[in-house]
A and B are shown apart, each in its own frame.
Chain A
Amino acid sequence: MKFGNYRKLLPKIVVGLLIALIFILPVFTTSLVTLSKFVQIGFWAIAAMGFMLIMRTGQISLGQATFMGLGGYTSAVFMVKFGLPFWPGFFMAGIVAGLVALAVGVVAVRAGPIAFSIITLALAEIMRIIAVSWEPVTNGSKGLVITPPTHIMLGNFEINFATSAVPNYYFIVILVAITALIFWQIDRGRLGGIFRVIAVNPTLAEHQGIPLTKFKVLAFTVAAVFTGFAGSFYAHFLGVMSPDMYGLWQSIQALMMGIVGGISSLVAGPIVGAAVLNSLSDILSRLPVYSIKPTLFGAIVLLVLLFLPKGTGLIDLWRIFWSKVYKEKPITTDNTH
């Protein structure tokens, strides 16, 4: 019926407007602070998406920071030590992160889901220690100073990453968009189904002839590649690559953003989670209260896990909101479809 399509349409329109707004934001403001906040959100969104993709296969990776760090260090070392421009380093970053994930994944997945978390945690520690200790290459804790991507000339229009934040902003927006599209396609396709099935009932899945290890490692690797890209770009954006950026807390942050955003959705959830938690930490960084940030973050994740129906997060409040607007009964999304 007509009312029905209108009911379906309105939420879509709102989402569309939001996306459009994101793309034309620099028209309204080119303030460095605002745009940097968005860059930060985008970076964390990608990290959280990677985490969620791994979580889809029923494993929790506590080492996502490893791949940000790998990405960052790869491109940083390529630029500082070998004097290469931005782009080759950028792509190498993804490749290196992917290869490491492949190698580690084969070991970690074999040891079962619980050991997997511990091993990824250990991996993150290993990477941090190497970064701190391997002074000649990583320049120790002082970190490597790196310059933003070289400016690109389009005709007589110059894209200069150094002087303004707008190129960085568009870079991250496009990176998020690509990642989101790919993950979304994975999620709705056969792979997504297989991932969920592996998570829900591995025994049955295995006896249906689905090779568990292959797909778990696949998810781990894909996530790592995109996290690596993001890390590489972020290092250039910050202008410095230092080990302190990639510790346990950062991995946990990726987890928290994923969970808060909503386990049910692979793409929208992480983005929402990243936006919310980053904005929050932004406010908290002003309060003269010490160590309030971990407290509140932990509390929020707990609240989401305890008081929202299992397998949902903030993103599902969106659906609930519309269902309330139209007096429907709330749609609880679920993990397998």
Chain B
Amino acid sequence: MPLLELKGVTKLFGKLAALEDIDLCVQEGEVLGICGPNGSGKTTLINVISGYYRPNRGTVYLEGKKISGLRPDQVTARGIARTFQSNMCFHRATVLQSMLIGSFLQDKTNEWQAFFETKTYKERRKKIAAEVLETLKLLDLTNEANMPAAGLPHGHQRIFGMAMALMTNPNVLLLDEPTTGMNHNEAVFVVDQIKKINERGITVILIEHNMKVLLDAATRAVVLNFGTKIAEGKPREVMKNHDVIEAYLGTETV
């Protein structure tokens, strides 16, 4: 049974269909790359999965349970984390502070325990702090831990986004163009991070405009165009696919 499954998902903005009955299966442990020209509905797809949008038609299943129509926080609680295309951070908070608050889902203590700072609460916080530091180490952000997140250089902000997503200890991680505006080395670095994350048994859905990154990182690729799925398969084969080249050349010639 697939970990994440989309059945006939359609999202309309007014008349325009950003997604038109998309069927998609994501197997556990894979890195699924989703690519396509601009405005082909990649980000909409992530927004639908993460619960930010409600699909007009169709449903999203996680481990066979329907999650479409839930609020983003509920979806996240069920183990789907995401990053954003633009750099998101908590205004004026340092990386460490952001991640401590961001790991809300991990401390299971209720508000009373938090208010009175009971023993269990303190212990949870300690554990979380340790976890945060570990994640930072994993993503080589340790040096930036005490910098205000908003002040980080672009590349690090993308990584920071991933770190925040990881703090919700997800089963599925949706990455929205993690390498935008990066030079080659940074991109490579990010790809390594993605691989590392994947090795921890986290299924990754990677939205990527940059074909090269896709080829390196993804184990399977899906190509969207005008909100419909035009190709699916091993990255290399997909790249050879006639429609895909059409789509890309088409958009590029415009």
Contact = CB atoms under 8 A, between A and B. Distances in A.
Direct contact of A and B (CB under 8 A): yes
A144 to B, nearest CB: 36
B89 A191 contact: no
B135 to A, nearest CB: 13
Interface in A128-161: none
A201 B91 contact: yes
Interface stretch (B99-107, B179-187, B209-217, B238-246): B99-107
Contacts of A211: 71, 73-74
Contact of A207 (B81, B100, B111, B115): B81
A82 B57 CA distance: 57
A189 interface: yes
A206 B71 CA distance: 8
**Interface residue tally on B, bucketed by range:** 20 to 34
The winner among B73, B84, B100 for most chain A CB atoms within 10 A is: B73
Contacts of A185: 115
B164 A204 contact: yes
Contact of B104 (A189, A201, A208, A218): A208
A194 interface: yes
The winner among A189, A196, A197, A209 for most chain B CB atoms within 10 A is: A209
Interface residues of A, number: 26
Interface stretch (A34-42, A43-51, A329-337): A329-337
B101 A337 contact: no
Nearest to B82: A207
A200 B149 CA distance: 13
B76 interface: yes
Contact of B73 (A186, A190, A209): A209
Interface in A191-230: 191, 193-194, 196-197, 200-201, 203-212, 218
Contacts of B101: 190, 193-194, 197, 208
Given A191-B115, A208-B76, A336 B91 contact: yes
Contacts of B93: 197, 200, 336-337
Nearest to A335: B92
B89 A209 contact: no
Contacts of B81: 207
Contact of A203 (B71, B88, B91, B114): B88
Given A207-B72, A208-B102, A209-B73, A336 B90 contact: yes
A336 B115 CA distance: 18
A212 B117 CA distance: 22
Given A209-B76, A336-B93, A189 B105 contact: no
A61 to B, nearest CB: 21
Nearest to B124: A190
Contacts of A209: 73, 76-77, 104-105, 168
B88 A204 contact: yes
A201 B90 contact: yes
A65 to B, nearest CB: 27
Given A191-B115, A194-B101, A207 B92 contact: no
Contacts of B117: 189
Interface string B48-75: 0010100000000000000000011110
A211 B75 CA distance: 11
A291 to B, nearest CB: 39
A212 B71 CA distance: 10
A194 B110 CA distance: 13
A206 B101 CA distance: 12
A203 B90 CA distance: 10
A218 B93 CA distance: 23
Nearest to B94: A337
B84 A204 contact: yes
Nearest to A214: B73
Given A189-B114, A200-B90, A200-B92, 15 more contacts: A194-B104, A197-B101, A201-B91, A204-B90, A206-B71, A207-B50, A207-B82, A207-B84, A208-B101, A208-B164, A211-B74, A335-B91, A335-B92, A336-B93, A337-B97
Across the A-B interface, give the 5 residue pairs with the lowest CB-CB distance, nearest first.
Answer: A209-B76, A209-B105, A190-B114, A200-B91, A336-B92
